[in-house]
Amino acid sequence: KAGVTQTPRYLIKTRGQQVTLSCSPISGHRSVSWYQQTPGQGLQFLFEYFSETQRNKGNFPGRFSGRQFSNSRSEMNVSTLELGDSALYLCASSLRASGQNTGELFFGEGSRLTVL
Amino acid sequence: SQQGEEDPQALSIQEGENATMNCSYKTSINNLQWYRQNSGRGLVHLILIRSNEREKHSGRLRVTLDTSKKSSSLLITASRAADTASYFCATVGSGNTGKLIFGQGTTLQVKP
């Protein structure tokens, strides 16, 4: 079974631009979460989607948004990029269904964003 | 803000030795998980321990959980050079929020 696939793996943007990151979960997984990892703040939860609905959102500004499609694939978008948005963005999928507690997450390799 | 705090931040040992990492958290949890990350790559799930469990084993890994002290430890026995990585604890709150709150991690170096 293929793992979680994230694209692109690396990208460089300049301040003010926007970026879209893509995540394909493991087949059969309907829950997709996004995390931001930086040296200073560590791993921080961005949001979680299930069946095309955002179920949870972390403490990030509105410039960070996401969506999930009917095939469970997910995208996240960051608009008006700032230098501090440079990070490794990790997507994770799970079998977590509505009303269940979060169990094991399966992570992709991440998209490393550099903002210049 | 991070809920978990891990100790030590960095650990260097020789192959064959045991490595112990500790994690503390602040609020009540449903479960606690440990993940490994190799050099800026994705995280790999190692083990999950539920709030009503005190100890769990998986191969060379042993995890303990003390909910009264809000702490957990991960023991890797007979370490190998391939165990060199960063290790993170992550908690799932009892409120079923669907998110993991990660600690800052412990960087483990195992010297051959």
Selection from B57, B54, B33, B53 nearest residue B43 by Cα? B33
Q: How far apart are CA B9 and CA B104, in angstroms?
A: 8
Q: How many CB atoms lie within 10 A of CB B44?
A: 14
In one-letter notation, the amino acid at residue B86 is S
Strand partners, B42: none
Q: Are B37 and B88 in contact (CB under 8 A)?
A: yes
From A88, which residue of chain B is nearest by alpha-carbon distance? B40
User: Which amino acid type is present at position A75?
Assistant: E
CB nearest A90 (choices: B43, B48, B90)? B43
Q: How far is the alpha carbon of B101 from chain A, nearest alpha carbon, in Å?
A: 7
Ranges under pLDDT 70 in chain B:
1-4, 94-97
Q: Tens digit of pLDDT for each residue in A51-77?
A: 899 988 999 999 999 999 999 999 999
DSSP B83: G
Q: What is the pLDDT of residues A91-100, one digit of tens each?
A: 999 987 766 7
pLDDT tens digits along B59-76:
999 999 999 999 999 999
CA distance A91 to A74: 9
Cα A7-A13-A17 angle, rounded to 5 deg: 105
Tokens standing for B71?
Answer: 């702490």
Q: Which chain B residues touch A45 with a CB distance below 8 Å?
A: 99-101
Q: Which amino acid is at B22?
A: N
